[in-house]
Amino acid sequence: MEEIRIAVLGNVDSAKTTLVSTITNKILDDGRGLARSKVFKHKHEKDTGRTSSISFKYVKIDEHKYITFIDLAGHEKYFKTTIHGINGGLADHAILVVGANMGVLRMTKEHLGIIKALNIPFSIVITKIDICPENVYQRTYNEISKIIKRNFSRELVFRDFNSERLGLESLSLNDNKKINMFKLSNVTGEGLDYFRTFLYSLDNRIDWKAKRSNDTIFWIDNVYYVKGIGIVVSGTVKTGEIKINDKLLLGPKNGGFQEVVVKSIHNNFREDVSMLNAGLSGCINIKSSITNKKELISKRHIKRGMVMIQSNINKYKKNKLTRRFRASVTVLQHPTTIRVNYEPVIHCGKIAQSAKIIECDNENLRTGEKGTLLFEFKYKAEFLEKEDILIFREGKTKGIGRILELL
């Protein structure tokens, strides 16, 4: 089965979560939060009406394809969570949601900057058109159009059933000249059917079939203890494939890896499956391959950012587990200069850890400049690969880079 991942971003109160719920639950909102209440995970989210965590919702299109919506937080204080979700979620596409009555706000621009930095194909959705006067909507549209032309040198193109005569083929997200825009209401349903049709037509931007023959790497996102079953980890198969009874290496753990056995696998629809291929996410029940009590695994030993990899410890321990790495970077925004001893937070896949700059090929790096930096993680070694994309930040997004060398 093919999984399409769509990251949903936008400023707080732009109706991101409401939109995800109306699409996945096939209901309309009542204007008082009915739809979004169906997808909130925590009590404080229901009380405040605001998402503070990464939420995953799924909709099956047919027997061969389904969509995973990665609903990300819009509030500034949860910006770290948002970066983790879009970078570690391996998003195929992004939807930037803008409230028609709110316009483009600061976090809208921050999220757009992440999308641009990660080079993710995206579309823009303007919501709340049922409560927004036409002149206010037009002002929001003009503001978005200016930003798109200035930052992407592309034209913003409005899409609906009436304007689209050439069919969905002309809605390609890889168009170098246009950005698709939709306007809709989660309350009246205006524009929802056409937008849903567009979403269902999307495909993967990564050739996952080509990655299935590579060594297995499973990115861990969360860990659970299920009574009567044991340890269950959720995440995504980055490369290779995982089958029941496979022996994998779990780590980094105490500076190395521990061998575990796959006991069962569930997909995102809680169905038992025998295998997960590259590009698919799911839940895996694991147990230690060693019966020695000292080698048993528990929930507290497993953290987000860890991996399960193919059982070849010599290859991976030598080449992949590192505290120091060299990366080519571009500074997106910074009020002063970036130099040696600067300590940003590194986001790479599911990893989020502070690192210090040890070397810099330029004495100082300023906004818009490029350079090669040597980073050192502050606390522990992590599992990295050459060519991995990273974001480094301190508060707001600071820059993006690509790993060149593991040391």
Dump pLDDT digits (tens) for 217-256.
999 999 999 988 999 999 999 999 999 999 999 989 888 8
| Residue 143 to residue 99: CA distance in whole angstroms | 12
**Where residue 23 falls among pLDDT bands split at 50, 70, 90?**
very high
State the pLDDT at residue 289: 80
Least confident range from 160-174, 217-231, 373-387: namely 160-174
Read off the pLDDT of each residue in 329-333 and give the average, rounded to a whole number: 88
pLDDT over 70 (residue 84): yes
Read off the pLDDT of each residue in 89-110 and give the average, rounded to a whole number: 92
**Where residue 161 falls among pLDDT bands split at 50, 70, 90?**
low
Read off the pLDDT of each residue in 103-132 and give the average, rounded to a whole number: 91
Residue carrying the six token digits 């959705």: 125
Q: Which residues of 13-47 are buried (b: 16+ CB within 10 A; e: fewer)?
A: bbbbbbbbbbbbeeebbeeeebbbbbbbeeeebee
State the pLDDT at residue 167: 47
Q: Which residues contact residue 397 at a Cβ distance below 8 angstroms, ignoring those fewer than 6 apart?
A: 83, 110, 113, 114, 117, 332, 333, 391
pLDDT over 90 (residue 75): no
CATH 2.40.30.10 for domain 209-319, yes or no, is: yes
pTM of the model: 0.86
State the pLDDT at residue 294: 56
Read off the pLDDT of each residue in 113-134 and give the average, rounded to a whole number: 91
Read off the pLDDT of each residue in 348-363 and give the average, rounded to a whole number: 92
Read off the pLDDT of each residue in 355-381 and give the average, rounded to a whole number: 92
* Domain edges within the chain: 2-200, 209-319, 321-406
State the pLDDT at residue 406: 92
State the pLDDT at residue 312: 66
Note whether 234 and 32 are within 8 A (CB): no
3-state SS string for the chain: CEEEEEEEEECCCCCHHHHHHHHHCCCCCCCCCHHHHCCCCCHHHHHHCCCCCCEEEEEEEECCEEEEEEECCCCHHHHHHHHHHHHHCCCCEEEEEEECCCCCCHHHHHHHHHHHHHCCCEEEEEECCCCCCHHHHHHHHHHHHHHHHHHHCCEEEECCCCCCCCCHHHHCCCCCCEEEEEECCCCCCCCHHHHHHHHHCCCCCCCHHHHCCCCCEEEEEEEEEECCCEEEEEEEEEECEEECCCEEEEEEECCEEEEEEEEEEECCCCCEECEEECCCEEEEEEEECCCCHHHCCCHHHCCCCCEEEECCHHHHHHHCEECEEEEEEEECCCCCCECCCCCCEEEECCEEEEEEEEEECCCCECCCCEEEEEEEECCCCEECCCCCEEEEEECEEEEEEEEEEEC
Q: Which of 116, 76, 169, 142 is nearest to 396 (CA)?
A: 76
How many percent of the chain have pLDDT more than 90?
Answer: 49
For the domain made up of 2-200, the CATH class stated in words is alpha beta
More confident residue, 270 or 334: 270
How many percent of the chain have pLDDT more than 70?
Answer: 88
**Where residue 47 falls among pLDDT bands split at 50, 70, 90?**
low
State the pLDDT at residue 309: 92
CATH code for the part of the protein at 321-406: 2.40.30.10
For 284-302, write each residue's pLDDT tens digit. 999 988 766 556 788 888 9
pLDDT over 60 (residue 162): no
Note whether 264 and 193 are within 8 A (CB): no
Strand partners, 256: 253
Q: Which residues contact residue 300 at a Cβ distance below 8 angstroms, ignoring those fewer than 6 apart?
A: none
Note whether 248 and 220 are within 8 A (CB): no
State the pLDDT at residue 343: 93
**Where residue 68 falls among pLDDT bands split at 50, 70, 90?**
very high
| Residue 9 to residue 29: CA distance in whole angstroms | 19
The count of other CB atoms within 10 Å of the CB of residue 248 is 24
Task: Please tell me if the domain spanning 209-319 has the same topology as the one spanning 321-406.
Answer: yes
**Where residue 165 falls among pLDDT bands split at 50, 70, 90?**
very low
261: its two tokens = 């056995």
pLDDT over 60 (residue 308): yes
Read off the pLDDT of each residue in 150-171 and give the average, rounded to a whole number: 64
For the chain, the average pLDDT equals 86
